[in-house]
Amino acid sequence: MFHRLFRKLKKRQSGSKKSVNPDEIFLDSSNLPSFNRDQFEGRIETPISKFSLGSLKYIFILIAIFFIYRALNLQIINSDFYVARATNNNLQKEVIFAHRGIVADRNDKNIAWNEEKDGDEFDKRAYLTGSGLSHLLGYVKYPGQDSKGHFYSFSILGQDGIEKYFDDKLAGVNGAKLTEVSVKGAVESQSTLEPPQNGEKINLSIDADVNAELYKQIASAVEKSGFSGGAGIIMDAHTGEVLATASYPDYDSNVMTDGSDKAKINEYLNSKKQPFLDRVVSGLYAPGSIVKPFIALGILQENIIDPLKQILTHGFISLPNPYDPEHPSVFKDWKNQGSVDLRKAIAVSSDVYFYITGGGYEGQKGLGITKMDEYISKFLFGVATNDFFGASAGTIPTPQWKKDTFKGEDWRVGDTYHTTIGQYGWQVTPLQVVRAMSGIATEGTIVEPTIIKDEQGKTTPITGIDAKNYKIVKEGMRMAVTEQTAIALNIPGIQIAAKTGTAELGTAKAKVNSWVEGFFPYDNPKYVFALVLENGPTTYKVSAMRAMSDTLSAVRDNQPEYVK
**CA atoms of 446 and 457, how far apart (whole Å):** 10
**CA atoms of 134 and 95, how far apart (whole Å):** 30
In terms of DSSP H, where are the helices of 331-429? 342-348, 351-359, 369-378, 399-405, 413-420
pLDDT at 61 (0 to 100): 82
**CA atoms of 439 and 462, how far apart (whole Å):** 7
Taking a C-beta distance cutoff of 8 angstroms, is the pair 416, 369 a contact?
yes
**CA atoms of 6 and 1, how far apart (whole Å):** 9
**CA atoms of 374 and 360, how far apart (whole Å):** 17
Beta pairing class for 242-248 and 339-340: unpaired
DSSP state of 456: P
φ/ψ of residue 497, rounded to 5? -115, 140
Counting Cβ atoms within 10 Å, is residue 490 exposed (0-12), middle (13-18) or buried (19+)? middle
Identify residue 176 by its one-letter amino acid code.
A
Could you give the angle at which helices 351-359 and 292-301 cross, rounded to 10 degrees?
40
Total count of residues recorded for the chain: 564
Query: What's the distance, CA 65 to chain centroid?
Result: 71
**pLDDT means per 10 residues in the chain (564 residues)?**
48 49 49 50 57 72 79 67 58 85 98 91 94 97 85 91 97 87 66 87 98 98 96 98 98 96 96 96 95 98 98 92 83 93 98 97 95 97 87 90 93 95 94 97 97 97 98 98 96 97 87 97 97 95 96 97 92
Q: What pTM, to 2 d.p., does this model score?
A: 0.83
**CA atoms of 511 and 91, how far apart (whole Å):** 68
Beta pairing class for 511-520 and 202-203: unpaired
pLDDT at 9 (0 to 100): 45
pLDDT at 367 (0 to 100): 98
H helix or E strand, kind and range, residue 243: strand 242-248
pLDDT at 50 (0 to 100): 67
**CA atoms of 319 and 420, how far apart (whole Å):** 16
pLDDT at 80 (0 to 100): 65
List the 527-537 sheet strands across, edge first.
242-248, 229-236, 527-537, 511-520, 497-505
pLDDT at 304 (0 to 100): 98
pLDDT at 128 (0 to 100): 97
- Give the Å distances, CA to CA, from 262 to 128, 248, 257, 267, 268: 21, 21, 12, 8, 10
H helix or E strand, kind and range, residue 517: strand 511-520
